[in-house]
Structure 1
Amino acid sequence: MEYVISDAPTIWRLLNGVLCVYKPAGVTVNSVRRTLLYKLSTELNELECRPPVKRVAIDGDTRQALTVTVSDSLADNPLVVGPRYRPDDFKCSWATFLGVNTSGVFVIGLNSGTKDAYRLHREHPLRTYKVKGRLGECTDNLFHTGKVVDKSTWRHVRRGAMEKLLANMQASHQKTMYQLCGVDLQSEAAYELASKGLVRPVESKLPLIYGIRCVEFEPPNFIIEVNCINEYESYLLALVHDIAVKLHTVATCVSVRCTRHSCFTLQHALLMKHWTLQSAIANIAQSKRMIRNVMKTNKNMGLNSHLHRLEGEAANSLP
């Protein structure tokens, strides 16, 4: 049996958690925040809100029996003080900032979920981007909307040369990861570190690439898939430019789309037409289960690593 909740205060208490939405390109994160909160607050005000508080008035001559009347207080009437729910009533923060030209998965924390969003950001989650570039032109802002400042030939570029370059870049970043952790790439400590999962230098804010490959190559257009942490939009735009320079040409970025943020993918992201109370509540409930499973997995991996370390110490102490 299904129950329909039409009580705004009850719905408000359910809006606590992490929400995954799809951010369009050309829109700032602040605009996404304002639009989302405006839609949620508007739908809340259309539900059954609490009635105005009562006002008790005592009238009459004090030398005679007084008259006590109870009426709705005008000081708490929505027509006087405004709607019950406003966008400013929400607490909202994002797990990772996305640039204005970047579209895709955008994770937001609502109300008490802002703590979960911060915790997710502090874990340095792996994010996946699909970056589309165009060979032959270079703009002043490294994006196709900028002014063209340089042109070059591109017909000599082959997919094999690009894939070889991307493989070298990936190997270089992997070497940097272990250097930031203070271990030698060829040592046993590096192997034990890799066996625990992804190597995440917690103290470093340096962008690191865990995987990069060319998923589409139709000159002059190409698309690369980048798995990275600590990245930002201008870094991805410069990455396209650097790839082209090493291939003896120039390029500009056409689009940047985030397809994965930790355990969140495009399948979990709500399109703008689905930014409603019903979809938001369902998405928050789904996100809670996903985050709980991720935290449980990370905890188990940490416990297994601790047990392996204890076993190694015990084996070394044997005569």
Structure 2
Amino acid sequence: MALVNGSRSTILRQATSAWGLLNGVICVYKQPGISVGATHKILKNKICQDLNSMQRIPRQEVVQIQRVPKTKPIGEIHSINTEVDHEVIGEIDDGKGIIRIVKQKSFADHPLLVGPGYTWQDVKIANANKLGLESSGVMVLGINKGLFQAQLIDKNRWLKTYVVSGQFGKATDTFFHSGKVLEKAKFEKIQRFLIDRMLARSQASHQKLAFDVAGVRMDTERAYELASQGVVRAATESSPIIYSVKCIKFDLPHFDLEISTINETENYLCRFIHELGLKLHSVAVCTKIRCTKVGPFSSDLALLQKHWNLEYVLDNISKTSEILKNFNLFEREPMVGKV
């Protein structure tokens, strides 16, 4: 198997060459209903399958001296024996038999003895952002030497954008539509402007919370300077903060919200939908959570599961490395993108 590494315009045939390039950050699209751990294992197995189908390091050759019965004329040189994969390079008749000098490939690194060259345990993967079991969308991962970069991205607390779908009229014990229904309520009087009003209030309260977490009063010059630089984010892990929320689709009883946030969890987003229903004198459940953007990484860059193979992964590492050149991960950027 040969891989074309498009960004470097090179053809990779050796597994070791491809393995040497398998270091960095990639962006994949996670499917709902699959855990993060299972996603890691699927990706690792597909990468290892491609690596093991490529050319391996040639087996070492060793020279052996053997005594064999005197059945062949002296000086006869045999061709390679395909069964034992050896070549006779010389013979000496000492009167008692033939001493044969044989060059053959070592069995110490035979594929049937050492097994596959790469297994899923060899590939190291860490998350820069985590998605819950029922969530789907963009997930940024660090591979091998890219683990440290993934940790830095996580510490920089880049904004993450979600499209969260909800349904009015029922409430469950998990705040997700698959949970046990606990309550039903009417929703016919809910209108779009009422949702927009409630979302604006929630956004305003969270914007104030962002300054409180940063330890800055909103009526100070420091608060103005921070706001002029972009999105004010907490330097440490704190409670979830929503920087932007708006309704992008309204079709009773269904609706979609676009939420830009940090420090969020799947349960928090589901609870946000539940609380929105209560504020509108009804009830609501979350039906779908999809992450569309993590900092500068959008869903356009994310690899679908059908593209989880070595060639696409290496190409994705090249693309993300070009994007990361614009960011100093060792310093917290005040803004990844304006909300």
TM-score calculated relative to the size of structure 1: 0.88
- Alignment of structure 1 residues 81-230 onto 2, 5 Å: 81-230=114-263
Query: Which amino acid letter does the alignment assign opposite residue 16 of structure 1?
Result: N
Task: Write the distance in 1 (CA, Å) between the matches of 2:99 and 2:54.
Answer: 39
How far residue 66 of structure 1 moved from its aligned partner, in angstroms, is 7.9
Partner of 1:191: helix, strand, or coil? helix
Alignment correspondent of 1:259: 292
Q: Whole-Å Cα distance in 2 between the matches of residues 166 and 126 of structure 1?
A: 18
1:150 is displaced (CA, Å) by 0.7
The alpha-carbon deviation at position 180 of structure 1 amounts to: 1.6
**What secondary structure is seen at the aligned counterpart in 2 of 1:103?**
strand
Superposition CA RMSD, Å = 2.4
Q: In structure 1, how many angstroms separate the alpha carbons of the residues matched to 2:175 and 2:267? A: 8
Which amino acid in structure 2 is aligned with residue 21 of structure 1? V
1:33 aligns with 2:40: yes
Number of residue pairs matched? 300
DSSP-derived class of the 1:21 partner: strand
Q: Relative to total residues, which structure has the larger helix share, 1 or 2?
A: 1
Whole-angstrom distance in 2 between the partners of 1:127 and 1:263: 9
Which residue pairs with 2:81 in the alignment?
none
Q: CA deviation at 1:44?
A: 0.9
Corresponding residue number in structure 2 for 1:245: 278
Contact 2:176 2:285 in 1 (8 A): yes
If you compute each CA radius of gyration, which structure gives the higher value, 1 or 2?
Answer: 2
**Alpha-carbon deviation of 1:112?**
0.3
Please report how far the alpha carbon of residue 197 of structure 1 lies from its aligned counterpart in structure 2 after TM superposition: 2.1
| Aligned position for 1:43 | 50
1:215 partner amino acid: I
Look up the SS of the partner of 1:238 in the other structure: helix
Say if 1:26 and 1:184 are closer, same or farther in 2 by CA, change over 3 A: same
| Per-residue Cα deviation, 1:72-129 (whole angstroms, up to 9, x for no partner) | 3323211122111111111111111110100000111111011111110010110000
Post-superposition shift, 1:8?
A: 1.1
> 2-side partners of 1:182 and 1:104: how far apart?
33
The question of whether the paired residues in 2 share the 8 Å contact of 1:263 and 1:294 is answered with no
Say if 1:300 and 1:256 are closer, same or farther in 2 by CA, change over 3 A.
Answer: closer
How far the C-alpha of 1:31 sits from its partner, in A, is 1.2
- CA separation in 2, counterparts of 1:301 and 1:182? 15
CA distance in structure 2 between the partners assigned to 1:30 and 1:92 by the alignment: 10
Shift of 1:205: 2.2
Counterpart in the other structure of 1:23: 30
Q: Go from structure 1 to structure 2 and tell me whether the alpha carbon gap of 1:70 and 1:205 turns closer, same or farther (over 3 Å shift).
A: farther
**Superimposed CA distance per residue, residues 159-195 of structure 1 (whole angstroms, 9 cap, x where no aligned partner):** 1111111011011011111112222112212101112
What's the secondary structure of 2:29's corresponding residue?
strand
Q: Secondary structure at the match of 2:325?
A: helix
Alpha-carbon spacing, 1:299–1:235, altered in 2? closer, same or farther (3 Å): closer
Structure 1 138/55 Cα, relative in aligned 2: closer, same or farther at 3 Å? farther
Shift of 1:33: 0.8
Question: Residue by residue, what CA displacement relative to the aligned partner does 1:181-233 show, whole Å, maximum 9, x if unpaired?
Answer: 22211221210111222211112321100111111111100000100000010
2:301 to 262, 265, 268: 268
